[in-house]
Chain A
């Protein structure tokens, strides 16, 4: 069964067309990355899928329902680019934020925030405030906060974009450990090729604005994946493949202009 289905989806702001007619099926339990240049409309696409912005035309279904309904039932867990932690809440209470609002829609099997915080190595920081954490730690809290919902769909919009390279590598390893075996579908937006290949089962390459999928690349690296996968010749090959698709897409549009 497909977790996300898009049929001829378009989105424009006034005269500005941000998403071209786009059709897409994302299978349940898969990790799918969307990679594309800045400003091509990735965030907009993600916001439409999460039900935060209406589509201009076409159909979107998330978990078999319109996005608005999925949102009301807390079926979509978001990790935004900025962690968006509340500065007056401790790590522990920030991790619980999404369960504290709209409680009627809380799932019966909400995940234990404490256990997750232990799992991402924040046991010693439960009572710390966000300003006492590094950027990587803040983003780990944001990830835990999303996972507590136990939602079938996890949407991450360039969550590691603001982090340094060393921390990003760590975060890739951690994210793979967290989602493998959880059965969650992940839609991951990035503009890092390494990140997309290391994490995904499938990479969708977008053209510059308006967003359109110019390549759909299956990542056949074995799971579970550790950081060592990045030394695999197949990994290097796939990265090159994505890079060519990305630059081909960019060249393609500039030639038509």
Chain B
């Protein structure tokens, strides 16, 4: 575990050092790329503003993810019980996934108004397909021997769902969460910039991008998002370690 932390720190430090060197060596123009040191200094200077904005962004991402998860569990449970329903709904979800949501964000903002609602809605919408697919696959992966065993004592559908299918889907849901975590933050950031409110890290980035002197703030917002994403993944890993204690992925490896 400690080895893993060291490896992470080494990887990120090397990446940032290479970036810093690149910007300094080639004198890259301000808006194109800022050196990490400059961006981080700005972030530190305005840490109060960034912290309160981060709180808003975290809420948008977290509520959106939670809504997506709840909707997906219900939908996924229904779809895993019926091939027909799965075949009917899958193309719709794929459409949601491939259509560029950036294109219709402004319509959603017009519909739901400024503020939190469009951000949470868009995060939930964007994260739902991956969660539904994970739920369906995970629930179908449940051991048929156990399901037959429960049938032999006339367990109800609900009991099978709750005691066997749902826990079987947990590993796939964690994998989808890793993917959705980054997605949720990106969508939250973008919608905050587009929804005419002045809350969230996205709105800081938006304002910075429209000012000629905003380069430092813009790149500081990028770093703030990176830190949020990183914290989110750590939280997810800790949760996974508790919830999936029993799963192959959590067993110690040889090295």
Contact = CB atoms under 8 A, between A and B. Distances in A.
Contacts of A83: 145
B247 interface: yes
A87 B247 contact: yes
B154 A72 contact: yes
Nearest to B243: A88
A238 B105 CA distance: 79
Contacts of A197: none
Contacts, number: 69
Interface of A: 50-52, 71-72, 74, 76-78, 80-89, 97-98, 100-102, 105, 129, 131, 149
Given A86-B164, A87-B247, A129-B246, A149 B148 contact: no
Secondary structure class of chain B's binding surface, majority of residues: helix
B145 A101 contact: no
Contacts of A149: 153
A71 B159 contact: no
9 contacts: A71-B152, A78-B152, A83-B145, A87-B246, A88-B246, A101-B155, A102-B156, A102-B159, A105-B154
B153 A74 contact: yes
Interface string B145-165: 110111111111001100110
A105 B153 contact: yes
Interface of B: 143, 145-146, 148-156, 159-160, 163-164, 167, 170, 245-248, 251
Given A100-B163, A129-B246, A86 B146 contact: yes
Question: Which 6 residue pairs across A and B have the least CB separation, nearest first?
Answer: A84-B145, A101-B155, A84-B146, A82-B145, A88-B246, A101-B159
Contacts of A100: 163
A131 B145 CA distance: 16
A143 to B, nearest CB: 12
Secondary structure class of chain A's binding surface, majority of residues: loop
A88 B164 CA distance: 10
A50 B247 CA distance: 32
A96 B247 CA distance: 20
A102 B155 contact: yes
B149 A78 contact: yes
Contacts of B170: 88
A82 B148 CA distance: 11
A80 B145 contact: yes
A223 to B, nearest CB: 28
Contact of A84 (B143, B167, B248): B143
A104 to B, nearest CB: 10
Contacts of B151: 52, 71
Contacts of B251: 131
A83 B145 CA distance: 8
A71 B154 contact: yes
A203 to B, nearest CB: 24
A76 B251 CA distance: 36
A89 B152 CA distance: 20
A83 B170 CA distance: 21
Contacts of A72: 154
Nearest to B248: A131
A50 B131 CA distance: 37
A102 B153 contact: yes
A95 to B, nearest CB: 13
